[in-house]
Amino acid sequence: MNIGLWCLTPIMALSRTVMPKHATLMPATGRLYDAQFALRVGLVNDVVEPKRLAETVKALAAEIASKSTYTLALGKQAFYRQL
């Protein structure tokens, strides 16, 4: 928006992730939004301090990796089909 155009590709993903009022506000204003805003509107799952980022990602990856790959695959397929 700040250079005269709405970038359409990210808007599609954004509109599927956050409520319409936020999906419209963000590109319409062209503002930069902080991590707390992204967390509040559901754009991100969690916000952590930079020094804890690596350990947090590692812990989440380990938790997901400990699950059945077959069950995860089935669940993901079902989730994306219903979208």
pTM of structure: 0.74
**43 vs 36: CA distance, rounded Å:** 10
What are the backbone dihedrals phi and psi of residue 17, each rounded to the nearest 5 degrees, phi first?
-105, -40
The larger pLDDT score, comparing residue 3 to residue 16, is at 16
* Tens-place pLDDT, residues 21-63: 999 888 888 889 999 999 999 999 999 999 999 999 999 999 9
Mention every residue, 6+ apart, whose C-beta is less than 8 A from residue 23: 11, 14, 15, 17
